[in-house]
Each structure stands twice: as structure tokens, then as C-alpha cells.
Amino acid sequence: MTRFAFLLTLLCTALWAGEWSFTPPLSQEGDQLIRVRLTPEEIARLGERAEWLRLRDQSGREVPFALSTDLETTWRFTESVLSTEITQLRMQDDGTVEILCGLRNGVEAPEELTVRFSTRVRDFEEQVQIFGETTDGWKPLCTDGFIFDSSRLLNLQKLTVSFHREKCRKFRILLSQANFEIKNALRHIVDSESSTTGTTHTESTDLEVRDFKMEGIEFIGIVKTFDNNAPRLMPLPARSLVQDSRSQGYIVTPRFYPVYGLELDSDSSNFSRRLFISQRAFINASYSHLADATINRLRLSGYSQEQTSVRFPLVNQGDLRIEFESGMAIPLRLTAASCLSPCYSLEFIGNAKDAPYHLVAQEEGDLPHYDIGGILQFGKEKITSQTTTLSQCGKFLGASYERQAKSPVVIPKKTNLRWLLMTAVGVAILAMTFALAKVIRNTAPPKQ
């Protein structure tokens, strides 16, 4: 009986799933082209895939539609190391390190450059100024650069400074705090007696002065190009973020697919960690490597920087595992993870008399193919479609979608869960019917 009730509950959940009810703003009577923009959050309330979507009018009749991914123009960054030569390296009287360097002849360089310093020194802070050579002398290109290393305490490091070269090819770089002091933890307290003042305490701290030693620099050219076909992504909180029992990493289960990246958060104010992302597509499958990256957050006096997002190739199913580079004494604790998923546009031919429309989901369904793409394309060339969003013209009814399977990993799409569920319910009802008939037969009074 308990098993039957459980299966019946699952069946009712599937049959009473939520829906978006919306009435698009129609400016005139008759059929019109309608475009509704959908966010990952809105689709995830119906199901975990956009291809599950189905559209019906107020009478329940299925309405043909075309579904497309929203695109946007974004920057793509490509880095390349440029051939550089150092012509002079000296330390000034005040301890400032002066570097004269430039791009080699024939080297083509973009306008935006990054200079990367190489040093084995640890636990330092340096202010960086960069000047470019012009016909009128040295022109300031960067006056507030900053590099540092705090490996001894926080395992943080920043050894790069970015600037615009403004057509200059020779540069003068100043490291203005090349001498620095390190305080020892030991303090000295000396007590002295005086007939007039009594006992006095004198405290002193040992200082160790070291020279900053630079081993080399290199210039990195950053080329920016337009990508006109990039999907417009939005973060969506993951279904779950749990620690991996076999490591100090985490398992992320998305609420919606596809996923193009992750945005991570931690309760630590300052950190820098190299991590590795892998994917498990199916139950009992092994994880395969997707990407590796470094996330960091720096909140220091006078300086702030944060990069906690990771991009990787499209993931269309399964869960994700985050593993951190080994060797860190204190593991980084993640408090939240959001998946970067695309936004969509749903286009159809609508009429005011058929509203409100109902956007629902058919679990484990494939994206239907309607003979409407050519009609919509022809219509968009002749007239302007009515564009809206679900948040503007609709409301959500019913319960949000929740995957019922215990495993967060997607089962291959050939398996139709709803038919399996209904079959299981039917078998349970037949079993209960035979059992009830047997009980009645056994409890019936014997014939006289």
C-alpha cells in the first residue's frame, strides 16, 4: 500500500505540473507575430530543458512556435607573448628600480598591453609606474599600478599590470618601493628602574630589510575581437552544491541545461585558487575533464579585484565536479554556485481571442518540429513582431518543476520516464486488485 501511494504521488506531481499563463500585448485584431523572451529561471520552473516546452491556447489546442537562442555581441580576448628587449636595469638612490625596455623591431603589438614581472621574492608590495617614449619625452601611461605577493599568509599573488601603450614602443618602468621591511614576530621589552619615574617599559621590534630582485619581464598583447553569435547568458542558482566525499571539492547539479559556465561564491574575503571542472554525463559514468581556471578575490587596502566565474564548453546533461589544486593547507569553502545558461525567444502567430496562452513542459520530450519557420521569417520581413517577456504579461500557476529521481544525473533521453511511471502505477493497481480479491475470497463465509 505504501509503494502504491508513493507512485500515485509521483503521478499526480507529473500531471499537475506548473505552467506560465500569459496574455501578450496585441495592438490590433487578427493574427499577429508575437515574440516572448524567456530566461533560464522562467523555463526551469517548468522543466530543465527548453526542448520540453509546449504552447497551448485557452482551449488547450497546441500552438506551433519557433524557439531560438538569444544572441548578443561580446568581446573575445586573445593573448600572445610579444618579443621584448631590456636595455637598462638599475636601482636609483632612493631604492626605486628603473627598467628601460621596448618591443623588438618588426613586432606588431595591439594597443592594450599587459606587463608581467618574474621574481622569486615573496611577501612584498610594489607600486608600478609605466611611461612611454614620445618625441616630447616620457609620457605617463600608468601611474597607479600595483603588484604584490602574500604567499606566506594567504597564498595570493598579482604580478601583472595592464595599460594602453598609445602607439609607444619603448617604455620606462619604475618600481617605487624596491626596498621593503619585514617585521619579525619577536618583540623585545626592556624594563628599567628610575628613582624619579619608577619602572619603565621599552618595547622594540626587529626589522629585516631585503632588496627586491626581479628576474625578468614580458609583454603580453591582448587582442579584442567581436563575437556576434555569442549566446546571451544569465546565472541560475544550481539545484544543489554538495561537498565531494572523496575530495575537498564539490559536486554541482544544474537546474537547467545547457550550461556554459559557473559563477562561484565563498565566504572568504581574500583567496586565489586553481580549480579543475569535470563532467559526469550519466549514472555510474566516470568524470571527464572540461576546463581548468583560477578564481580569486582580493580585498586589500586600496586595491580590489574579483574573478569567480569559469567558462567551459557546452554541457547538456549530467553533474559537474569542482576540484581544487592540491597542496593548499586551508581548503576554500564554497557557499553558492550558479550555472550560466542561455536565454531564449519563443515566436508564434497569436490572436487576442485565443488568449490567455499557456506555456507548459512535456518532460523528456524532444523539441517539436512545426511547419512555421518559413512563415515567421517571411512575416518578420514585412511587419514588426510584438515583443514581450513572461514577467511583463504572465504569471506562474501551479508547482515548480522538481526532478523526482534521487540521482541528479540525467538519464539518457531514450527512456521515457512518464510512460514508465504510468506503467508502474498500472502494475501496482493490478497487483492490489488481485490481492484484494484474494482477501475477499479467503474471508467469505463457507457455503452451507
The yes-or-no verdict on residue 388 having pLDDT over 70 is yes
Return the pLDDT at 435: 63
- Residues 213, 81 within the same domain: yes
Using the 3D structure, point to which of 181, 203, 223 is the last residue of a domain. Answer: 223
Handedness of CA 11, 401, 340, 21 (dihedral sign): positive
Cell of 117: 614581472
pLDDT at 212: 66
C-alpha distance across the termini of the chain, in Å: 34
Look at residue 30 in the predicted model and tell me its pLDDT: 85
Instruction: Report pLDDT digits (tens) over 26-72.
Output: 877 888 899 999 999 999 999 999 999 999 999 999 999 999 999 99
- The answer to which of 34-43, 52-61, 184-193, 367-376 has the lowest mean pLDDT is 184-193
| Cα separation, 357 vs 380, whole angstroms | 21
For residue 386, what pLDDT is reported? Answer: 87
Give the mean model confidence (pLDDT) for residues 305-311.
Answer: 91
**84 with 212, same domain?**
yes
Of 282, 251, 243, which is closest to residue 405 (Cα–Cα)? 282
Cα(273)–Cα(330) distance, integer angstroms: 11
Q: In the beta sheet, which residues pair with residue 363?
A: none
pLDDT digits (tens, 9 = 90+) for 231-262: 999 999 999 999 988 877 999 999 999 999 99
**H/E element, 349:** strand 344-350
Question: What integer is the mean pLDDT of 258-287?
Answer: 90
Q: Which three cell numbers stand for residue 38?
A: 524567456
pLDDT digits (tens, 9 = 90+) for 319-349: 999 999 876 657 889 999 999 999 999 999 9
- Domain identity same for 113 and 207: yes
The answer to whether residue 418 sits within a structural domain is no
The CA distance from 112 to 266, in Å, is 31
| Nearest CA-CA partner of 111 in 218, 216, 219 | 219
CATH number for 270: 2.60.120.260
Q: Which residues contact 384 (CB under 8 A, 6 or more apart)?
A: 33
CA atoms of 166 and 132, how far apart (whole Å): 8
One-letter amino acid of 429:
I
- 281 and 306 co-located in one domain: yes
**Do both 82 and 218 map to the same domain?**
yes
Q: What is the pLDDT of residues 416-439, one digit of tens each?
A: 444 455 666 666 667 666 666 655
**Claim to verify: residue 304 and residue 185 sit in the same structural domain:** no
Does an H or E element contain 11, and which? helix 2-15
Which one is predicted more confidently, 447 or 367? 367
Determine the pLDDT at residue 71. Answer: 92
Q: Residue 409: pLDDT above 60? A: no
Q: Could you tell me if 210 and 255 lie in one domain?
A: no
Instruction: Say if CB 346 and CB 389 are below 8 A apart.
Output: no
Q: Are 355 and 23 in contact (CB under 8 A)?
A: yes
Is 118 inside a domain boundary?
yes
245/248 Cα distance (integer angstroms): 8
What CATH number is attached to the domain comprising 133? 2.60.120
Which among 131, 220, 221 has a CA at the least distance from the CA of 168? Answer: 131
Question: Do 188 and 284 belong to one domain?
Answer: no
| One domain, residues 123 and 206 | yes
Q: Are residues 155 and 252 in the same domain?
A: no
Say what the pLDDT of residue 320 is. 96
Examine residue 66 and state whether it is found in any structural domain, yes or no: no
In a domain, 416, yes or no: no
| CA 427 from centre of chain | 44
Query: b/e per residue, 35-72, with b = 16+ CB within 10 A?
Result: bbbbbbbbbbbbbbbbebbbbebeeeeebebbbeebee
CA nearest 341: which of 321, 320, 366, 324? 320
Are 358 and 56 in contact by the 8 Å Cβ rule? The answer is yes
The DSSP secondary-structure symbol of 426 reads H
Return the higher-pLDDT residue of 99 and 411: 99
In terms of domains, do 201 and 256 share one?
Answer: no
CA–chain centroid gap for 90, Å, is 44
CB 109 within 8 Å of CB 103: yes
User: Residue 421: enclosing H or E segment and its boundaries?
Assistant: helix 417-443
What pTM value is reported for the model?
0.70
pLDDT at 311: 93
324 and 288 housed in the same domain: yes
Question: Which stretch of 151-155, 178-182, 226-230, 391-395 has the lowest confidence by average pLDDT?
Answer: 178-182
> In this predicted structure, what is the pLDDT of residue 205?
46
> Domain ends where: 280, 313, 342?
342
* Rounded CA separation 153/150 (Å): 6
H/E stretch holding 103 = strand 97-103
Domain count, the chain: 2
Range of the domain at 144: 77-223
Write down the pLDDT at residue 79.
83
